Amino acid sequence: MGIGGAVGAVLRHLLAQRVDREAFPVGTLVVNVLGSFALGVVVGTSLDDRAVLLFGTGVCGSFTTYSSFSYETVRRWESGERARAALNAVGNLALATLGLTLGVTLARTLS
């Protein structure tokens, strides 16, 4: 799980740095949606418990970031960017849930 966590954290940092924008936290949104999709694939397959810990808890858990999402949302709200804060909150919740659902569906369809 620790190795998976290290891999996920490094991947999150690299991806978020490439796609993040000052006006909107695109990097956090992207990692949360992709991580949720990947977690859906993990839980939608018949992996053993150790593989789920490595990929699901380790890689996906450290790749996604609820704390950054929360901070970015509150920071925008407090600075008066209420529409962007709401869009960030709703976008992360809706798109990450959709990503997880698509990942589970894809894994179950292919297996």
**For the segment 45-66, what is each residue's pLDDT rounded down to a tens digit?**
989 999 999 999 999 999 999 9
Q: For the chain, what are the domain ranges?
A: 2-110
Rounded Cα distance between 66 and 64, Å, is 7
pLDDT digit string (tens) for 58-109? 999 999 999 999 999 999 999 999 999 999 999 999 999 999 999 999 999 9
What's the whole-model pTM score? 0.92
Per-residue pLDDT at 33: 97
**Predicted pLDDT of residue 11:** 95
| Contacts of 50 by beta carbon, 8 Å cutoff, 6+ apart | none
Q: Report the alpha-carbon distance of residue 92 to residue 107 in Å, rounded.
A: 22
pLDDT at position 23 is 80
pLDDT band (50, 70, 90) for residue 17: confident
